[in-house]
Amino acid sequence: MQKQVNRVAHTIGTLSIVSLVILKPREIMNIEYNDDNELGNYICRHYWELLTESEKATYKASHARQKMDNCDSPNSALRAKIGERWAHLDDPLINNALRDGHAAFRNNVAKRVLAEQGSRVFINRCPECNRIVRTPKAKQCFWCGFDWH
């Protein structure tokens, strides 16, 4: 009997830990919000068709370089393969576009897209905290937890 009670308590404990991890708004998780960076990510992810071919190539290379940075070992085979095939480390145009970092590049893309084709972009903001939410169709804010379904 005691064993069973312990098992139930353990299961409830595990479930509440899992739900806390899954459902916690990002604000509570203490992830810093930066409107420019969120906008840059949002536009590159959801308005890909508005990027120029050069911006798309740079974005892909930027993504590859970030993956390389996340590889455990600087000598890993995976890191070498990503570098060889996708990172375009010797491309002067890409290197120039990324000279101020990945976030700055995406922010510049967002500024250009909004200046040139802003009417085609819907920036979905939370009605509660005004932060940019994950997708143009999202109805829940992962920053403050507000839900407007």
- By CB under 5 A, name the binding residues for Zn ion: 126, 128-129, 141, 143-144, 146
Residue 94 or 144 having the CB closest to Zn ion: 144
Residue 48 or 148 having the CB closest to Zn ion: 148
46: Cβ contacts below 8 Å, ≥ 6 apart: 135, 136
Residue 18 or 138 having the CB closest to Zn ion: 138
Q: How far is the CB of 148 from Zn ion (least distance, A)?
A: 9
The CA-CA-CA angle for residues 47, 113, 108, to 5°, reads 105
Q: How far is the CB of 141 from Zn ion (least distance, A)?
A: 3
DSSP conformation class of 140: B
Q: How far is the CB of 127 from Zn ion (least distance, A)?
A: 8
79 CB neighbour count, 10 Å cutoff:
18
Task: Please answer whether residues 78 and 71 qualify as being in contact, where contact means their C-beta atoms are separated by less than 8 angstroms.
Answer: yes
